[in-house]
Structure 1
Amino acid sequence: MSESGQPAYVAGDLVRTYRHDPPHHTRLPRYARGKLGVVVEPEGRAPLADVRAQGRPDAPVEMIYAVRFAARELWGEGGHDVVLDLSESYLEPYEEVDGDVR
C-alpha cells in the first residue's frame, strides 16, 4: 500500500513479478516469476499467505491484485490470458530501459 493508504497499483498498471525462490511456501507460482503482467484490479487486503503457511501470527496484511498475464509471456505460447491473484509484495513496477521491458 502506498503511504496514503491507497493501493500501490491501479487497473491498467504494468507490473513485473519478483524473481525469488524462497525456501518456504509462496503463492507466487514458479511459472509466473519474473513475468510481465497488467493489473486488472485491486481486490482487497489479506494476510500474506507465505507467512501464515509457516504458522506465524505476524503475517503482514497486504493488498491483493488480480493480474493478467498473456499465456505467451508465461509459457512462450498460447493465445489466451491467465489471471492470478497476487500479493503486493510479489509485484514491482514496470520499467522500460532503452526500449527493453525489464
Structure 2
Amino acid sequence: KAEDVAAALAKGGPVERPETTPAAFKVGDRIRTKVMHPEGHTRLPRYARGCEGVIEAVHGVHVFPDTNARGDGEQPTWLYGVAFKGTDIWGPDSDPKLSLRLDLWEPYLDRL
C-alpha cells in the first residue's frame, strides 16, 4: 500500500549474501588499496587510493555496490574493515595519533 512505502524503504534490505569463495584476506593482513579511476560508482574514496592499511575485521560477503549501481548485478564479494594510519592518508605532516577505518570490498585491495 502507498502508506507503507516510506516504512519499507526506511528498513532497507539485507545485503549479506552466502559465501561462494574463501576470503582472500584475514585479520592482520597488510594491504594496499588500488589506484583506480572508474567512470561510475565506487565506494573506494579517492583519498584512500594507493594507501597501505591493515585488515581489522572480516564482515562476510555482501552485495558489491559498484556493479549493483551500474545495473550489472549484485556480484557478492567479501567486505573488510581496514585501518589506516592518518599519516598514510593525510600525509606526513598530519597528527600521527590519527587513524581512519573504512569498510572496503575485496576488489579494492591488494596484498602487500
**TM-score normalised per structure 1:** 0.82
- Give 3-state SS (helix, strand or coil) of 2:87's partner: helix
Q: Which of 31, 39, 45 is the equivalent residue of 2:47?
A: 31
The structural deviation recorded for 1:53 is 1.3
Q: Does 1:16 align with 2:32?
A: yes
Q: Which of 77, 80, 83 is the equivalent residue of 1:68?
A: 83
Q: Per-residue displacement from partner, 1:27-78 (whole Å, max 9, x unpaired)?
A: 000000000000001101111101111233x231100000000111001112
Question: Gaps (5+ residues) in structure 1?
Answer: 95-102
Aligned-residue Cα RMSD (Å) equals: 1.4
Between 26-35 and 39-48, the greater mean CA deviation after superposition: 39-48
Structure number with bigger Rg: 2
Q: Point out 4+ residue stretches in structure 1 off by more than 2 angstroms.
A: none
Which residue number in structure 2 is paired with residue 93 of structure 1?
111
Question: Gaps (5+ residues) in structure 2?
Answer: 1-19
Identify, as 1 or 2, the structure richer in strand.
Answer: 1
Percent identity of the aligned residues? 37
**TM-score normalised per structure 2:** 0.75
- Give 3-state SS (helix, strand or coil) of 1:53's partner: helix
